[in-house]
Amino acid sequence: MQVILAQALLGLNVGVFYAMLSLGLAVIFGLLNIINFAHGAMYMLGAFIALIGYSLLEQWFGISLQIGFWASLLVAPLIVGILGVTIERFMLKRLYDLDHIYGLLLTFGITLILQGLFANYFNVSGTPYPGQPESLSGVVNLGFMYFPTYRLFAIIFSLVVCFATWYVIEHTKLGSRLRAGVENPDLTQAFGLNVPLMITLTFAFGAGLAGLAGVLAAPIYSVSPLMGADLIIVVFAVVVIGGMGSIMGAILSGLALGLIEGLTKVFYPPAASTVIFFLMVLVLLFRPAGLFGKEK
């Protein structure tokens, strides 16, 4: 039982990253109908911003400044969000009247460019992030296991961000305006709301979530140019299972699939890397709209 509980908690640790990345994808697709394949690259970029800000600013740019972990939680999502604004305003905006495949191909190309740029300067096998705060070092005794303090913080912080985002989109005036701008942009604009700006800021927010997830992942996983590519296919599967565009579906599916993946490592380890895709196939066969998606 101790092994099962420990592996479930480790699976939940993976699941919160699935949930945060899936949430960003769901926000962008659900509100803008854009399939953002560059989401994994933005996750990678967030991790590299944290790494560069902590240990490479002086070496590369001669700036005697160190951006610590706590500051990176704000700086990295902001920079990635600005990149999202640039991509939406100057690239994706031109493709809105075309088939979704054009946006997918564009964001796939952006992914390859970002991966190639960072692969030229960083080790593909990964670089450790040295900036984990002292206050989050050590372990916590949970009774059935000793669990790293930082991983416990990452779980709690990610859950707060995910459910706060869901609440804002589903239960506030801002969220209702965003949804109205997507469902009927002409009427919404007639009421004086700047729909193009809302679309741009929504894309930037989704990109910023990916950057934030990257900062949280940096102290746990090696920071690598391919860290986003390794994760984005799984995240797309999570979004499909939860329901394309479903905010709560993305969160709950990400958490549940992380748990399932962790428990699979206990009962049948060879299937751990494929169980999510097996479940995705079943969902597509019996409920194509996803577990929380709306059937058309």
Give the model's pLDDT for residue 183: 67
Pick from 13, 6, 54, 43: nearest CA to 206: 43
Give the model's pLDDT for residue 62: 65
Q: Which parts of 131-183 are beta strand (E)?
A: 139-141, 146-148
Please state, in angstroms and rounded to a whole number, the distance separating the CA atoms of residues 118 and 100.
Answer: 28
Q: Which of 19-33, 108-122, 271-285 has the lowest mean pLDDT?
A: 19-33
Confidence of residue 296 (pLDDT cuts 50, 70, 90): low
Give the model's pLDDT for residue 58: 65
Inter-residue contact 162 to 251 (CB < 8 Å): yes
Q: In the predicted model, is pLDDT for residue 33 greater than 90? A: no
Instruction: For residue 6, give both structure tokens.
Output: 């420990």
Confidence of residue 176 (pLDDT cuts 50, 70, 90): confident
Question: What angle separates helix 173-183 from helix 149-171, to the nearest 10 degrees?
Answer: 60
3-class DSSP state of 128: coil
DSSP 56: T
Confidence of residue 208 (pLDDT cuts 50, 70, 90): very high
Give 258-284 pLDDT, tens digit per residue.
999 999 988 888 998 899 999 999 999
Task: Walk me through the domains of the chain, giving residue ranges and CATH numbers.
Answer: 1-286 (1.10.3470)
What average pLDDT does range 192-203 have in this prediction? 83
Instruction: For residue 224, give both structure tokens.
Output: 């690598």
Confidence of residue 293 (pLDDT cuts 50, 70, 90): confident
Give 241-261 pLDDT, tens digit per residue.
998 878 899 999 999 999 999
Share of the chain above pLDDT 70, in %: 96
Give 42-95 pLDDT, tens digit per residue.
999 999 999 988 887 666 666 667 788 999 999 999 999 999 999 999 998 888
**Dihedral (Cα; 24, 71, 137, 224), 10-degree rounding:** 50
Give the model's pLDDT for residue 86: 94
Q: Which of 173-177, 234-238, 250-254 has the lowest mean pLDDT?
A: 173-177
Give the model's pLDDT for residue 219: 93
Confidence of residue 209 (pLDDT cuts 50, 70, 90): very high
Pick from 222, 277, 239, 255: nearest CA to 44: 222
